[in-house]
Amino acid sequence: MKRNDFEWVYTDQPHTQRRKEMLAKYPEIKSLMGPDPNLKWIVCGMVLTQTISCFLVKDLSWKWIIFWAYAFGGAINHSLTLAIHDISHNVAFGNKLAKWNRLFAMFANLPIGMPYSASFKKYHIDHHRYLGGNDLDVDIPTEIEGWFFCTPFRKTIWLFLQPLFYALRPLYVNPKPITRLEVLNAVVQFAYDFLIYYLWGLKPIVYLIAGSLLCMGIHPISGHFIAEHYMFLKGHETYSYYGSLNWITFNVGYHVEHHDFPSIPGSKLPLVKQIAPEYYDNLPQHSSWVRVLWDFVFDDSIGPYSRIKRECKLVKDD
């Protein structure tokens, strides 16, 4: 049966209470919090790989540009967006060096081709603080998306256009003033793009941007967008995935664990599950991101409306 509205609840998100219980029972989890010393080197390797790839693809035909953008470069770029996700929680250099994390996120942003990291940080904090919050959590589709993209064909189009919706939805749902970091992010990004264009022409730019757009749309890795919070089982709003794609996505599949402990880097999230398996083993989980995409498209009961929403009170920052 097709949904005609979101799943409205009148309870707080479950992660806050579970975090308190787990820390009381397993205080050693606190030792997992803090920076990941390997993250910055992994990201540097990925940025270097994509920059070298720009040189390698400069003389390829257009069909091979698109092929390698989808099959290789886009996967790296999507992984870099998830590195930026980790960095947004200050796990590259720690909370005491927050500005270094912001600047390093801009560096990780370079192969993506479009400025992204500063805006993501600005809205992602709301996603954790106000999970499912009406007009606050911009990860949730709009009413128009839920109403229109309700058939297999339309849901396929929605998946393909997902990068566009993620970029434009915040401007409609919860617009915020442009920050200096966003301006700096754009200047740094366009300087890198211009340098690549000046050195090797248009094809490497298309390779980078097409890879980002294609692999954030219909691609096995992009299944995590749907798997994380779309309600496949009534009453459950966050799901984990423990499969092999976590190896190239900074363990973003450990998503229940991540929302329970956002300050723990992705590389250490499996240890949370090992320490406290009774909190996770019996929760519903996904076994395949490709299957998630298939079910999203062809199961009438799942669509953009399949999200839990709640009214949240604004928290004032000090």
Question: pLDDT digit string (tens) for 133-192?
Answer: 999 999 999 999 999 999 999 999 999 999 999 999 999 999 999 999 999 999 999 999
Which pLDDT value is given to residue 2? 86
Sign of the dihedral through C-alpha 114, 118, 119, 121: positive
**Which tokens belong to 211?**
């890879």
Tell me the C-alpha distance between 260 and 19, whole Å.
5
- The per-residue pLDDT for 1 is 78
Half-sphere exposure of 232 (CA within 13 A, CB side): 22
Q: Exposure of 287 by Cβ count < 10 A (0-12 exposed, 13-18 middle, 19+ buried)?
A: exposed
Cβ–Cβ < 8 Å for 53, 207: yes
Question: CA-CA distances (angstroms) from residue 305 to 5, 149, 157, 159?
Answer: 6, 9, 15, 14
CA pair distance 142, 134, nearest whole angstrom: 10
What is the predicted pLDDT for the residue at 202? 98
Strand partners, 241: 286
β partners of residue 286: 241
What radius of gyration, in Å, describes the C-alpha atoms of the chain? Answer: 19
Give dist(CA 71, CA 49) in Å, integer: 14
Q: What is the torsional sign of CA 134, 136, 137, 142?
A: positive
- Low-confidence stretches of the chain (pLDDT < 70) are 316-318
Question: Between vectors from CA 107 to CA 177 and to CA 124, what angle results, nearest 5°?
Answer: 40
Question: Tokens 């250099």 — which residue?
Answer: 93
CA distance 33 to 50: 30
Q: How far is CA 262 from CA 3, 83, 184, 186, in A?
A: 31, 14, 26, 27
pLDDT of residue 317: 61
What's the confidence (pLDDT) of residue 315?
A: 77
Q: What is the DSSP letter of 262?
A: T
pLDDT score for 224 = 98
Gap between the Cα atoms of 11 and 290, Å rounded: 31
Q: How many CA atoms lie within 13 A of 131 on its CB side?
A: 20
| DSSP-derived secondary structure letter, 64 | H
